[in-house]
Chain A
């Protein structure tokens, strides 16, 4: 379907102007929608934090160094949580019957030089 018949400079410039305007407006509407969505998401998250009894303003004031230190401590703590192991090493012996199908000698080149 043809929306515009371009036969002159005027029509071409109009088409280009419409094009760039539509691109801007589509992405602008997307920006608005997601800004709005962001506000809602952040409000919901804030409500959850307030319900849990933590002072939100205090969280904002934590300096980056402290956040890094807390993250490191958490990482070390969670990393050290392993299952208790017996520390007894055992070797399980497996007996294999001879079979030419897995014999090593057939998988090598016999270069007798």
Chain B
């Protein structure tokens, strides 16, 4: 220990000497430049150059709205790292917000909205809507639909939770947004970031930054938003309902599910094809058992790469001068409302289904909230709330069924909105 301390001191001293030496060298090298500037009468040129340099710095272009957005970015990073709320999304988005809100001068192809800039090229995946289908490919390759196949009626909870999308679609129109913008805002209630981005890139590109950030923020806030609504709408007895364990699903069923699922959903709602096509392709790669390498790439390397690019560019798109508007605030409000309605829709529909189900086949309404498609967080919330009332009642496997049905449901809803409004 002593030895290390001593050696560290010596290293520190050495470093200090190097720094002093470097500073001295810099001053000596500036001296001939100043002599040259004086002798050639180009003092003004030096000052002008320094002035230009200063004008291009972030400090010269600073405004408080950028600082506000930087604080938002820091909060995202803090929530992701310290509270582990969706860190895979909040950390890249938060950092993206920092990148997007460093003030700069236009014309140097730096900003995300400047044609040809690096960030603009990366952002094209969001604007053109090709990141979301790739994300869906990865989600498909990592999703196990067996709980859904073993108890297909739970799929209806995934449909009921899409109520939030359509209710907030109506409310958004009522507060003054155009029909296309209202559709893009409503999709936040689907709790599906990639779908929200996909739809807003088609219906309301001007609102995409706000919609994407709202969708991802609320997905991260699932453990905060959902439990109070779940508790409010259920009785103590309902929260303790025990469900039958899901049966074992055969391999044939698992292989057939993505094929039938694709054909059925996209024949009815073809606009959802980019999302559902990739989702079911990813799932077939996983379940077929003969394309493990492709499934592995889709759910790991590809999904992770696209998540990074999507997160950073969505974050960077929140440039303060475009993002801090009344519309953005309204979108955040409507998004939260949409999310609450979606949660309530799932829970209430489970209660309605229970009216028609025999004793022993009843559904625990707590899994209804998992119908919003924030996979797997909303299923985990159902599990946690269920456990807080009955420590031996594990709802996770049951909740996964409406959860993955929600992914299908929100993609279908997105396809319908796209078909009607685009």
In chain B, what residue has the closest Cβ to A6? Answer: B179
In the complex, are the beta carbons of B7 and A34 less than 8 A apart? Answer: no
In the complex, are the beta carbons of B264 and A24 less than 8 A apart? Answer: no
In the complex, are the beta carbons of B7 and A16 less than 8 A apart? Answer: no
Q: How far is the CB of A30 from chain B (nearest CB, A)?
A: 6
In chain B, what residue has the closest Cβ to A16? Answer: B166
Given A2-B422, A33-B264, verify A27-B155 contact (CB < 8 Å): yes
Given A4-B420, A30-B265, verify A111-B253 contact (CB < 8 Å): no
In the complex, are the beta carbons of B159 and A28 less than 8 A apart? Answer: yes
- Most chain B beta-carbon neighbours within 10 Å: one of A29, A30, A38: A30
- Asked whether any CB of chain A lies closer than 8 Å to the CB of B256, the reply is yes
In the complex, are the beta carbons of A22 and B252 less than 8 A apart? Answer: no
Given A34-B149, A113-B3, verify A24-B156 contact (CB < 8 Å): yes
**Among the listed A4, A6, A27, A113, which residue makes an inter-chain contact with B408, where contact means beta carbons less than 8 Å apart?**
A27
- Most chain B beta-carbon neighbours within 10 Å: one of A13, A23, A34: A23
Q: How far is the CB of B73 from chain A (nearest CB, A)?
A: 35
Residues of B within 8 A of A25 (CB): 268
Residues of A within 8 A of B165 (CB): 19
Residues of A within 8 A of B269 (CB): 22, 26
Residues of B within 8 A of A24 (CB): 156, 159-160
In the complex, are the beta carbons of A41 and B250 less than 8 A apart? Answer: yes
Residues of B within 8 A of A16 (CB): 166-167, 169-170
With the chains together, A20 CA to B349 CA distance in Å?
A: 14
Interface SS of chain B: helix
Given A24-B156, A27-B405, A30-B155, verify A13-B419 contact (CB < 8 Å): no
**Among the listed A12, A27, A33, A45, which residue makes an inter-chain contact with B409, where contact means beta carbons less than 8 Å apart?**
A27
Q: How far is the CB of A6 from chain B (nearest CB, A)?
A: 4
Q: How far is the CB of B171 from chain A (nearest CB, A)?
A: 10
In the complex, are the beta carbons of B257 and A34 less than 8 A apart? Answer: yes
With the chains together, A27 CA to B421 CA distance in Å?
A: 22
**What are 11 A-to-B residue pairs whose CB atoms are below 8 Å?**
A6-B420, A6-B421, A18-B416, A18-B420, A22-B412, A24-B159, A27-B159, A27-B412, A31-B155, A34-B253, A34-B257
Which residues of B are at the interface with A, using a C-beta cutoff of 8 A?
A: 3, 6-7, 10, 149-150, 152-153, 155-156, 158-160, 162-163, 165-167, 169-170, 173, 179, 182, 250, 252-253, 256-257, 260-261, 264-265, 268-269, 405, 408-409, 412-413, 416-417, 419-422
